[in-house]
């Protein structure tokens, strides 16, 4: 079937965005945000070699940053270890005050940080600003939660004994972070680690180093001591190998693909680290025919197209009940073709480029595969003068489970709609996937909502909402979507060890 078939399209023409990111970066008042130096042991390293940063919307080089190697990582681990005692011995309220100061500097520099995020990641500037606020929120929230890392007293099972459980910081932590949320995935990990009393070493994605290094500048300004928060950019394997092998690194937190998560879990086994993994998703988005159509379409637009689809919470399989299917596809198509595709620094843009070409190519492959196997292309938004990293927002309807898009995470602006008949059937189909990060259910029936909240196999479920993340919630997945939780008091626990103490022989 050809792509030139009759589609609903809207033509958006935009001026060529060549040079726009460089122009914005040049105008930043904070020149240190684009200096690209790594922060190791309280010193800024320009690096003997530099790695290039690309604007994914145009393919242009926009900056370069220090390339760190294994020896740099070993220095960072030693510095983190040295900083541990001093940091853990601060009162939680003192650590909290530093975290709050960091959050406040991030908020103060929100506009400049958003320009960095959009320039290197590609997301629309409004979404980048939202990410900065979301990211700062984790530091604020954990600043307070660190003061509530309560232990327990246990009614004793032994005469004359007192039983206590205390929470201790686990030690040096490492974070390997992705490019889709280059600020918030760092603050979600660092907020929890620092609040618990652990230093953290961050290895950001090579695609988005500027945001991470700018966060380090602000951490230093906020008073985070040397060695407590360090950022090193470079080859993922070269930098992760010392982190995995070194027994001084006691915790590893990773967000990214399930494939890399498995490799890191295996690597961390040698030194039995505490590992938390936030991996891929394949969220079912289930629409029953008792719903308000507009609400369901709005929810599907948000759950599919936020971050241009590069979101682990993205709706990957949109199941729509037969009674509302045709109407839903029509209304969803009409909304999709209105999406404005372009450079994220242009204010009107809804959908930016894929940060990585490999992700754009995966989207195209899933579209071709689905169309070849009988899916209908019901809508494609349109735009011109774009780099190969762009994928036009696309609606595939009549998708079936044998298609790649129904099995593998898409991570782009391609929506797959599948019809279903009954509740029993859709629950089985929704759960028939090795991922279990998030899910969405739209229904007006309270009984059905309660039943599905029990039955859907995932770590996070939105009932009649596509918006549920934030600092107080336990973010994480079931099955191969990961291990452990981020955010919430459970997120703090990823950076603590429990110690049970038995005070015996207390009788005078
Ligand atoms: P990735 O897993 O390769 O990258 C994530 C992070 O892991 C980056 O910092 C990267 O440098 C690092 N990394 C890569 N290989 C490594 C290795 N061998 N050792 C140590 N660190 C390593 O993800 P990707 O290839 O950039 O994206 C592929 C797919 O992963 C996406 O299409 C999407 O499905 C998924 N993904 C999920 C998330 C999420 O939020 N859960 C984020 C990014 C990507």
CATH code for the domain of 415 = 3.40.309.10
Q: What is the extent of the structural domain holding 409?
A: 283-471
Known catalytic membership, residue 454: no
* Assigned domain for 477 exists: no
CA angle 409, 412, 418 (to 5 degrees): 60
CA of 362, closest atom in ligand 1: 32
pLDDT of the residue at 15: 60
What pLDDT does 384 receive?
A: 77
Contact 138, 187 (CB under 8 A): yes
**Residues 264 and 214 placed together within one structural domain of the fold:** yes
Same-domain status, 257 and 298: no
Are 327 and 263 contained in the same domain? no
Whether residue 83 is contained in a domain is answered as yes
Sheet strands (E) in 140-203: 152-154, 162-169, 172-176, 200-203
In which residue are the tokens 């693909």 written?
A: 257
pLDDT digits (tens, 9 = 90+) for 379-389: 888 887 788 99
Report which of 86, 243, 175, 168 is spatially closest to residue 492, judged by C-alpha positions. 168
Do 77 and 174 share a domain, yes or no? yes
Q: Say yes or no: 422 and 304 in one domain.
A: yes
Backbone φ and ψ of 58, nearest 5°: -125, -15
Q: Are residues 265 and 298 in the same domain?
A: no
Cα 257 to averaged position of ligand 1 atoms, centre (Å): 5
The answer on 250 and 108 residing in a single domain is yes
Residue 6: pLDDT band with limits 50, 70, 90: very low
* Band of pLDDT at residue 79, cut at 50, 70 and 90: very high
- What value does the mean pLDDT take over residues 248-260? 98
pLDDT of residue 379: 87
Cβ atoms of residues 447 and 430 within 8 Å: no
Which one has a higher pLDDT value, 45 or 1?
Answer: 45
User: With a 6 A CB cut-off, is 255 part of the ligand 1 pocket?
Assistant: yes
* Predicted confidence (pLDDT) per residue in 275-315, tens digit: 999 999 999 999 999 999 999 999 999 999 999 999 999 99
Which residue spans within 423-468 are E strands per DSSP? 435-436, 438-442, 460-463
How far does the centroid of ligand 1 lie from the alpha carbon of residue 349, in Å? 26
Distance of CA 227 to the CA centre of its chain: 25
Phi-psi region for residue 387, left (φ > 0), alpha (ψ -120 to 50) or beta? beta
- Please, how many CA atoms are within 13 Å of residue 138, restricted to the half-sphere of its CB? 27
Q: Total domain count for the chain?
A: 2
Element holding 419 (H helix, E strand) = strand 414-420
Predicted pLDDT of residue 18? 86
* 262 CB within 6 A, ligand 1: no
- Residue of 112, 131, 145, 278 with catalytic role: 278
Of 460, 488, 414, 475, the residue nearest 181 (C-alpha): 475
CATH of the domain at 125: 3.40.605.10
Q: Are residues 267 and 304 in the same domain?
A: no
Together in a domain, 299 and 264: no
Q: Quick one: 216 and 353 in the same domain?
A: no
pLDDT digits (tens, 9 = 90+) for 450-493: 999 999 999 999 999 999 999 999 999 999 999 999 999 999 99
467 part of a folded domain: yes
Please indicate, yes or no, whether residues 372 and 228 belong to a single structural domain of this protein. no
Best of 204, 253, 256, 411 for a ligand 1 pocket test (most atoms within 8 Å of beta carbon):
256
Helices 92-108 + 110-121 axis angle, to 10: 70
| pLDDT value of residue 383 | 83
Same domain, 83 and 128: yes
Assess whether 312 carries a catalytic annotation.
yes
């Amino acid at each position: 079937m050809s792509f030139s078939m009759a589609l609903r399209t809207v033509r958006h023409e935009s001026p060529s965005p060549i040079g726009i990111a460089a122009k914005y970066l040049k105008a930043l008042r904070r020149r240190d945000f684009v200096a690209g130096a790594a922060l190791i042991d309280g010193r800024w390293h320009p690096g003997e070699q530099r790695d290039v940063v690309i604007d994914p919307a145009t393919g242009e080089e926009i900056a370069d940053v220090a390339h760190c190697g294994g020896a740099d990582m070993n220095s960072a681990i030693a510095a983190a270890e040295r900083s541990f005692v001093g940091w853990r011995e601060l009162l939680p309220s003192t650590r909290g005050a530093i975290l709050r100061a960091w959050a406040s500097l991030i908020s103060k520099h929100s506009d400049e940080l958003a320009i960095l995020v959009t320039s290197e990641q590609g997301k629309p500037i409004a979404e980048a600003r939202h990410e900065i606020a979301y990211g700062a929120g984790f530091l604020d929230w954990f600043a307070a939660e660190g003061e509530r890392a309560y232990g327990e007293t246990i009614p004793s099972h032994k005469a004359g004994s007192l039983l206590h459980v205390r929470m201790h910081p686990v030690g040096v932590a490492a974070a390997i972070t992705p490019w889709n949320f280059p600020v918030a995935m760092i603050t979600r990990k660092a907020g929890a680690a620092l609040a618990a009393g652990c230093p953290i070493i961050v290895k950001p994605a090579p695609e988005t180093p500027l945001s991470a290094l700018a966060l380090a500048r602000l951490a230093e300004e906020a008073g985070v001591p040397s060695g407590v928060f360090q950022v090193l950019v470079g080859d993922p394997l070269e930098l992760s190998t010392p982190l995995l092998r070194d027994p001084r690194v006691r915790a590893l937190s990773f967000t990214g693909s399930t494939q890399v998560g498995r490799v890191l879990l295996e690597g961390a086994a040698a030194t039995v680290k505490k590992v938390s993994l936030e991996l891929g998703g394949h969220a079912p988005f289930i629409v029953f025919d008792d719903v308000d159509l507009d609400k369901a379409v709005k929810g599907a637009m948000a759950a599919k197209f936020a971050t241009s689809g590069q979101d682990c919470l993205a709706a990957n399989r949109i199941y729509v009940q037969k009674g509302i299917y045709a109407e839903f596809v029509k209304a969803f198509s009409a909304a999709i073709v209105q999406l404005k595709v372009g450079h994220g620094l242009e204010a009107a843009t809804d959908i930016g480029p894929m940060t990585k070409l490999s992700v754009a190519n995966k989207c195209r492959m899933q579209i071709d595969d689905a169309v070849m196997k009988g899916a209908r292309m019901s809508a494609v938004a349109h735009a011109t003068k774009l780099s190969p990293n762009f994928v036009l927002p696309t609606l595939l309807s009549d998708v079936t489970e044998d298609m790649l898009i129904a099995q593998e995470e898409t991570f782009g602006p391609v929506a797959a709609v599948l019809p279903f008949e009954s509740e029993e059937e859709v629950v089985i189909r929704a759960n028939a996937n090795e991922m279990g990060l998030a899910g969405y259910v739209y229904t007006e029936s309270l009984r059905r909502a309660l039943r599905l909240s029990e039955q859907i196999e995932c770590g996070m479920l939105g009932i009649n909402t596509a918006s549920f993340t934030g600092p107080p919630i336990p973010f994480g997945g079931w099955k191969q979507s990961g291990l452990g939780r981020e955010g919430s008091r459970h997120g703090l626990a990823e950076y603590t060890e429990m110690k049970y103490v038995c005070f015996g022989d207390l009788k005078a």
